Chains A and B, each alone.
Chain A
């Protein structure tokens, strides 16, 4: 089968694609081909230019230079409808669905085969046929806002098939799916390929690439760094193509620490609606020079606990002491001045002011204090200097410190936030999913930085959805379930199975 593929002509051929944005060269002379009946993985770090390249193929961006051939014919794709006419369809990470409309309405938007009258019966018939043919089922009358992410994704794929797409581009299709949904999606994708479709999946998850793809293209900083058949590809080669260096998966250098001072929490309780405790009498002590992991399935009070510690919500009962100073009655400002830092999970809404420059974002916690203020005025030189320090120490991909936060990719925003919180040299850090959405290289860098902070005496409270991360970084792990601490483990006694079952609400004997 692969032999056959290698002689076939590509159905899509992109040649020398260049696309520049005001602050970055997103695509720097990329050649990319899609062959018939294949699943092609487009792999790369955050901001490598994967989505940009596919948006160009889909007519959302105009390339500065380069040519596109479809079935050997040179084409000019001005907008998504041109792409659709050529049989190209794309499912974006943010779905292109109207939540308020049902499936049939969403499919009918801009549909060329309808003249004036919205003939829902005709659409329904055709949709039923397509659902049968490809084994993708949804309820045509159901509103999108009542659907799970997996269902929405099926609607998106059906929408493309309805318009006769032969080439389907999926941008990080698994990022919001449950494991079962991922399995189902992969099954559907394989059956689509069996029915003569070609699929591109944009991803930065290695295991997906090996599980599903036939061919791989890797981008790095807007350039192609690897091309090949999946079966001939070694994992190490792929990682190197992605990050440009060997990522060493080794145990961190963890020093013996003995610092005085701690963040002490006693009987902390936060009530939700109807006086039901979301955080229920939580007590623990986070010493300086240690990483305390919180393991919890999202929605078990771990978020509210951190919010209450940082002062974003008020604790109804209990006390918090930072180095023996009671802070539960103090505002967030005082807490940050006493040496508390916060790496939020919601990076765009809580981590940065998206419309401000990186330099202003670098002093969000500290704009009232030395050296950023001089004679009651902002000291721009110091501020820029600090922002530049974050950018260079954490390899934030930004043109300058005057770039607006919203112009950065999600991964680079996260690197910037982590850098800011660490470089302000706090005594304690509250970190929520600090590496989520980061690529392999950046993840490793952030973890290393957290360990170094710990070694030099910071106490870190780490809440993470990634159990492996907790296990590899923490000195101790506490497990939260329904607002209570249900288990506590020391390094050396970590047992992912036991921690996992406690997180799911199983009692241990």
Chain B
């Protein structure tokens, strides 16, 4: 390979990785807040799928992409609230409930899809979310499109990232939320209502998972099919560990995942002799290795996945 080909390869990865990272990043940002408050949400995958099908339906029938995302977010919030009632108020086991929510979202999204569009017919398609090309800046060679030519939701998510990071580490409420994740008893003694913060966290987690799912169906695929997310919700959970509960590190983790994803698409075309399943496996294997390297040093919030029972 000559030099210009390698440069082209890198540019392609840069341009492609951001959109690929976004569904996972959105969900992972929500999961970061969830876990910082001590809630383990293993149902992200199901919430993403529900967001994906909801977004697609609204866009398909009403042709309004803003409404589509809002609807997906609303369904995410609904799932987050249900999650909250089960694990915060009813204090049920977070691992079991998370797994249950995954199955519900996974099955329900498939059933809704099959009921409306049938099984054999061609999948419904919508136009994918358009990109904003900032004049001049986006034509800067190499970095132009990567930085100045993304779709609007990418910029919204980056702003959300900055806000969430500031919230968690530079505001009193963020400190309160992290305290609830470390030791809800201490939070309560210090005059913080642990239940309130945990509910806020699960609702934000649901919202971001729903948006992440809709991003996949509306901005990347432009359609929906059964098990569209293919494990991305679990990757999101894993990348929270990789990111050590710090939003910017989580963001970096999702970009690496996105880059490997684009890389496998390209390599599939360059070396088609290797079975494509091998390439498909790559992003997941890389994530696994990332977790193995980092995971041993990661320290989860001390009360992660533990229900808070008042007065114990």
Asked if A and B are interacting partners, one says yes
Give the CA-CA distance A96 to B171 in the complex, in Å: 21
Given A84-B191, A98-B179, A117 and B171 touching (CB < 8 A)?
yes
The answer to whether A116 and B188 have CB atoms under 8 Å apart is no
Within 8 Å by CB of A118, from B175, B179, B189, lies B175
User: Closest CB of chain A to B147's CB: distance in Å?
Assistant: 30
Within 8 Å by CB of B191, from A90, A105, A112, lies A112
Whether a CB of chain A sits under 8 angstroms from the CB of B223 is: no
Residues of chain B lying within 8 A (CB to CB) of residue A116: 171-173
Residues of chain A lying within 8 A (CB to CB) of residue B173: 116
Binding site for B on A (CB under 8 A): 60-61, 79-81, 84, 90, 92, 96-101, 105, 108-112, 114-118
The answer to whether B191 and A81 have CB atoms under 8 Å apart is yes
Given A115-B172, A118-B175, A109 and B188 touching (CB < 8 A)?
no
Question: Which 9 interchain pairs have the tightest Cβ spacing?
Answer: A81-B191, A110-B190, A110-B192, A110-B191, A109-B190, A114-B172, A98-B182, A96-B186, A96-B189
Binding site for A on B (CB under 8 A): 170-176, 179, 182-183, 185-192, 299, 302, 311
Residues of chain A lying within 8 A (CB to CB) of residue B171: 116-118
Give the CA-CA distance A199 to B229 in the complex, in Å: 60
Residues of chain A lying within 8 A (CB to CB) of residue B182: 98, 100-101
The CB with the most chain A CB atoms within 10 A, among B175, B176, B185, B299, is that of: B175
Q: Could you list 26 examples of A-B contacts with CB < 8 Å?
A: A60-B189, A60-B311, A61-B311, A79-B188, A80-B190, A80-B191, A81-B191, A90-B189, A96-B185, A97-B186, A98-B182, A98-B186, A98-B302, A100-B299, A109-B186, A109-B190, A110-B172, A110-B191, A111-B172, A111-B190, A117-B171, A117-B172, A118-B170, A118-B171, A118-B172, A118-B175
The answer to whether B170 and A108 have CB atoms under 8 Å apart is no
Residues of chain A lying within 8 A (CB to CB) of residue B170: 117-118
User: Closest CB of chain A to B18's CB: distance in Å?
Assistant: 31
Residues of chain A lying within 8 A (CB to CB) of residue B311: 60-61
Measured CB to CB, the nearest residue on chain B to A115 is B172
Give the CA-CA distance A322 to B170 in the complex, in Å: 63
Residues of chain B lying within 8 A (CB to CB) of residue A111: 172, 190
Give the CA-CA distance A80 to B186 in the complex, in Å: 10
The answer to whether B192 and A98 have CB atoms under 8 Å apart is no
Further 12 A-B residue pairs, CB within 8 A, beyond A96-B186, A111-B190: A92-B189, A100-B182, A100-B299, A101-B182, A110-B176, A110-B179, A110-B190, A110-B191, A115-B172, A116-B173, A118-B170, A118-B172
Residues of chain B lying within 8 A (CB to CB) of residue A98: 179, 182-183, 186, 302
Residues of chain B lying within 8 A (CB to CB) of residue A109: 175-176, 179, 186-187, 190, 192
Residues of chain B lying within 8 A (CB to CB) of residue A114: 172
Measured CB to CB, the nearest residue on chain A to B192 is A110
Measured CB to CB, the nearest residue on chain A to B310 is A60
The answer to whether B188 and A80 have CB atoms under 8 Å apart is yes
Residues of chain B lying within 8 A (CB to CB) of residue A90: 189
Measured CB to CB, the nearest residue on chain A to B169 is A118
The CB with the most chain A CB atoms within 10 A, among B171, B173, B186, B191, is that of: B191
The answer to whether B189 and A100 have CB atoms under 8 Å apart is no
The answer to whether B187 and A110 have CB atoms under 8 Å apart is yes
User: Closest CB of chain A to B175's CB: distance in Å?
Assistant: 6
Residues of chain A lying within 8 A (CB to CB) of residue B174: 118
Residues of chain B lying within 8 A (CB to CB) of residue A60: 189, 311
Give the CA-CA distance A73 to B29 in the complex, in Å: 49
Measured CB to CB, the nearest residue on chain A to B179 is A109
Measured CB to CB, the nearest residue on chain B to A100 is B182
User: Closest CB of chain A to B166's CB: distance in Å?
Assistant: 10
Measured CB to CB, the nearest residue on chain B to A55 is B311
Residues of chain A lying within 8 A (CB to CB) of residue B192: 109-110
Residues of chain B lying within 8 A (CB to CB) of residue A92: 189
Residues of chain A lying within 8 A (CB to CB) of residue B189: 60, 80, 90, 92, 96
Measured CB to CB, the nearest residue on chain A to B191 is A81
Give the CA-CA distance A81 to B311 in the complex, in Å: 15
Measured CB to CB, the nearest residue on chain A to B170 is A118
User: Closest CB of chain B to A305's CB: distance in Å?
Assistant: 33
The answer to whether A105 and B175 have CB atoms under 8 Å apart is yes
Residues of chain B lying within 8 A (CB to CB) of residue A84: 191
User: Closest CB of chain A to B64's CB: distance in Å?
Assistant: 34
Within 8 Å by CB of B172, from A79, A81, A101, A108, lies A108
Residues of chain A lying within 8 A (CB to CB) of residue B183: 96, 98
Give the CA-CA distance A92 to B172 in the complex, in Å: 24
Measured CB to CB, the nearest residue on chain B to A108 is B175
Give the CA-CA distance A123 to B302 in the complex, in Å: 25
Give the CA-CA distance A61 to B310 in the complex, in Å: 10
Give the CA-CA distance A150 to B269 in the complex, in Å: 65
Give the CA-CA distance A225 to B251 in the complex, in Å: 63
User: Closest CB of chain B to A405's CB: distance in Å?
Assistant: 15
Measured CB to CB, the nearest residue on chain A to B312 is A406
Give the CA-CA distance A79 to B187 in the complex, in Å: 12
Give the CA-CA distance A241 to B7 in the complex, in Å: 86
Give the CA-CA distance A90 to B186 in the complex, in Å: 12
Residues of chain A lying within 8 A (CB to CB) of residue B190: 80, 96, 109-111
Give the CA-CA distance A66 to B87 in the complex, in Å: 35
Residues of chain B lying within 8 A (CB to CB) of residue A79: 188, 191
User: Closest CB of chain A to B89's CB: distance in Å?
Assistant: 18
Give the CA-CA distance A112 to B171 in the complex, in Å: 13
Give the CA-CA distance A337 to B179 in the complex, in Å: 48
Give the CA-CA distance A92 to B189 in the complex, in Å: 10
Give the CA-CA distance A262 to B302 in the complex, in Å: 47
Residues of chain B lying within 8 A (CB to CB) of residue A99: 302
Measured CB to CB, the nearest residue on chain A to B190 is A110
Give the CA-CA distance A114 to B175 in the complex, in Å: 11
Give the CA-CA distance A193 to B119 in the complex, in Å: 79
Give the CA-CA distance A90 to B185 in the complex, in Å: 14
User: Closest CB of chain B to A349's CB: distance in Å?
Assistant: 17
Measured CB to CB, the nearest residue on chain B to A113 is B172
Residues of chain B lying within 8 A (CB to CB) of residue A97: 186
Give the CA-CA distance A155 to B237 in the complex, in Å: 35
User: Closest CB of chain A to B302's CB: distance in Å?
Assistant: 7
